Chains A and B, each alone.
Chain A
Amino acid sequence: MVTVKQLQDVNFSSQCSPFSLQGIKIPLYRFGSNSILDDGCAGRISCVLEGEEEESVLDSIVLAQWEDRMWKGLFRYDVTASEIKFVGGRKKFIAQFNEGWSRDFMPRMGKNTSFCQEDLFKFSWMERQEELLFSVASGEKSNAELVLSAAVPDCALLIVINASPVEYGHVFLVPHGSKIIHQFLDKRSLELVLHVAVEINNCSFRLFYGYSPSAPRMYFQACYLQIPLPVELMRFDTIFGAGKEGMRISSVADYPIKTLVLESNHFKTMMEVLAEICSCLQEKLIPYNLLISDHGKRIFLFFQLQTSTNSILSAWECGGYFLFKSRSEFDQATEEALLKQLSTVSLDDKGFQAVKLLCCSVASKFAS
């Protein structure tokens, strides 16, 4: 159950915040403390077939808010009007023809690698308040709670539309809080993001993240994809398994970009292991992308080569979903070309071996 109330302005400090949210009031979703995540109960959530799960409140909020902004004309185009198709071949890569899409419209967050936080956000939320959908934070109450209008609390996730959506429901999930180091994915933000993945309870909902030492990002992205991404249908070779309760790590077989999959039914295990793995990778300046699917029970890690050029692929591209700006490119897309595109940016065998070892050693630390 979720209760609603109007909240008065809570004490809100924006001193250390990289961007001001002073005076801004948006809906706030607070997770319940006795949620499905506690003491491994997540393991009991049965695995569901598409469309057979109950619609969750969090899911409804995202959809309603996104649809509301579509109705208000905040998007640069109607993404559902852009054609999608399978690219012929065995991998079932997905191609979208979208003239309006551009990488440049990604918010310029974290472009400046210095620790001068004022520069991190190139725009003010005041001017683009309409793009803010709502915020998500943890709560003390036993049940989840929706507050229709509230200031954004410290240590929250801002859910913001991407005006150039890649798919329906495309949002940014931006960690917000005084203690967040914006260049790095911290454990608290990761916990919130994973919690969203679980609580939204919709297997079409996918979350993405990309880390590159040259352009660290401090935000996740998410959208709804009804069909599975090609990488999700690949065969796995398990390289690490810590029994029934623990974590399983597998490498994706026969896929052009080096990919690992973390699988666990236990939220805490998943969160701890993933946070540690991400932090190790960042320490060693190894670029990676994350794809969170299946209610947060399956997380894909894609490994790209570190290059000086900024040809870093996004997580959905790594997963097999490609956008084409021109009709002819879209029509002429071949599996061969896409395989090549992925394999040229992929980490090499030697590097992958090292990454595998690293991930397994992290997981084994938590296995006991």
Chain B
Amino acid sequence: MESELGLIEQSLISSYSVWVHEALSGLPDSFTITDPSISGHPIVFASKGFLKMSGYSKNEVVGRNGRVFQGPGTCRRSVMEVREAIREERAVQVSLLNYRKDGTPFWMLFHMCPVFGKEDGRVIHFVGVQVPISRRPRRSGGRNGVGLCEERSRMSEIVYGSCRKEVCFDSLVDLGRVLSLESALDDADSRGFDIEESCEASDVEKMRAATAINNILSVLTHYSESTGRLVCGKRCSLSGVGLLSSALNISLGRIKQSFVLTDPNLPDMPIVYASDAFFKLTGYARHEVLGRNCRILSGADTDSSMIYRIKESIQNETACTVRILNYRKDKSSFWNLLHISPIRNASGKIAYFVGVQMEEGCKNQVGHGLSPEMRQLSAVGAVRIAVRSLSMGAGPSKS
């Protein structure tokens, strides 16, 4: 079984070879790389510059989701913008209020972009660059008068106007020097300046983020050549058949029950998604089940009439629950209380069938007071919601 830690470690190596870490470590920028195909969409790489800026150690960051850096003052709308960009698998640039490990907030320009597989168009990773922003509020509102904002803005200019230029044009400058100034300014913030006041990045900062993204992408592209799985910053081909969007992967990743999605529109209805709990239950690894039919779970004593019932309900596009004898990878068997249901996308058509497994008599399912049947049904509901907006098109623009 592939452990989660193993998945995280392998995430970069399998796409860009073992040498990529060293090359990425040579970049001065503050950035993180996340893998949407792993449950929880965790960070799989954090640069030195990022660790310095956030105050976290590598072990505290890798494997966790980017949300740990957000806090009470983080603008919900900006977070939504990032979420939308992930859903649509496109780049985004927003100002975000993030929090260091010690709890102090700081403004940064967050520039995120997807890394696509050249061959199948799948999103392999998301790269996120963080550029600290010197405070220059977009608009003054509420109680924080214009005067304060302007004063603050002028102060930034005075403190490190020239230093900032160095950062922009000399990528080798020690980020730490700027960062210490940055935190000195943040102290000023807490004295009569509302840090939550929205803040916009300058063109120079935006350019700096874009440059960093390009540098990282060129490293990734270069090293992907050695694995034969080429990546690129722009989608070169349409998403291949049977591939799930990263947004769907992320939504499905939060469902804790054992389940698979199969695609009835492909020959032999292959598995296109399987949850972590499924791997745990069956002993199979991801690459051993994706693309294969669910019959890998059947064995010598599996009742064929049950298989017939499943086929029937798939044909009739209805839901069904069966008790069926299944086999793990190690050939040990278990009674599976299997619930199957068609799942529809934005067009209202059946995109997948979901199969939620429940091992009969299994005691170690943490139910929080919910019966196993309820947990099974809640998983079906969660899958329906995740797939509901899938392939949602836009109508003709007539306005």
- Give me the interface of A with B, judged by CB distance under 8 Å: 1-4, 43-44, 46-55, 57, 59-68, 71, 78, 80-89, 95, 145-146, 148, 167-169, 204, 224, 226-228, 232-233, 235-244, 248, 263, 265, 294, 297-298, 331-337, 339
Task: Tell me whether B146 is interfacial, beta carbon within 8 Å.
Answer: no
- Give me the interface of B with A, judged by CB distance under 8 Å: 40-41, 65-68, 70-74, 76-77, 79-84, 86-87, 139, 141-144, 194-198, 247, 250-256, 319, 343-344, 346-348, 368-371, 373-378, 380-382, 384-386, 388-389, 392-399
Contact of A67 among B79, B368, B380 (CB under 8 A): B380
Name the CB-closest residue of B to A92: B394
| Bound Cα distance A334, B397 (Å) | 7
Top 6 nearest A-B pairs (CB, nearest first) are: A88-B397, A63-B381, A241-B142, A336-B399, A4-B369, A64-B374
Residue of B66, B79, B139, B250 most packed against chain A (CB within 10 A): B79
Q: Is A64 touching B67 in the complex (CB atoms < 8 A)? A: no
Q: Is B67 touching A87 in the complex (CB atoms < 8 A)? A: no
Q: Is A241 touching B254 in the complex (CB atoms < 8 A)? A: no
| Bound Cα distance A51, B38 (Å) | 12
Q: Is B394 touching A169 in the complex (CB atoms < 8 A)? A: no
Q: Is A54 touching B254 in the complex (CB atoms < 8 A)? A: yes
Q: Is A232 touching B392 in the complex (CB atoms < 8 A)? A: no
| Bound Cα distance A89, B395 (Å) | 9
A/B interface sample: 30 pairs, CB < 8 A: A46-B67, A46-B68, A47-B74, A49-B86, A50-B247, A51-B247, A52-B253, A54-B254, A57-B368, A60-B374, A60-B378, A61-B374, A63-B380, A64-B374, A64-B375, A65-B377, A71-B319, A82-B348, A85-B395, A86-B392, A168-B384, A228-B80, A237-B139, A238-B142, A239-B141, A241-B143, A241-B144, A263-B76, A265-B72, A332-B398
The A interface is mostly helix, strand or loop, or mixed, namely: mixed
Given contact pairs A85-B392, A168-B388, A335 touches B397 in the complex (Cβ within 8 A): yes
**Which residues of the other chain, B, contact A148 by a CB distance below 8 angstroms?**
369, 371
Contact of B399 among A50, A235, A238, A334 (CB under 8 A): A334
| Bound Cα distance A23, B164 (Å) | 72
Q: How far is the CB of B22 from chain A (nearest CB, A)?
A: 30
Residue of B40, B83, B86 most packed against chain A (CB within 10 A): B83
Q: Is B385 touching A204 in the complex (CB atoms < 8 A)? A: yes
Q: Is A84 touching B370 in the complex (CB atoms < 8 A)? A: no
**Which residues of the other chain, B, contact A47 by a CB distance below 8 angstroms?**
67, 70-71, 74, 76, 79
Q: Is B344 touching A80 in the complex (CB atoms < 8 A)? A: yes
Given contact pairs A236-B77, A335-B397, A46 touches B71 in the complex (Cβ within 8 A): yes
Q: Is B72 touching A226 in the complex (CB atoms < 8 A)? A: no
**Which residues of the other chain, A, contact B195 by a CB distance below 8 angstroms?**
244
Contact of A232 among B80, B255, B371, B381 (CB under 8 A): B80
| Bound Cα distance A178, B371 (Å) | 32
Q: Is B398 touching A334 in the complex (CB atoms < 8 A)? A: yes
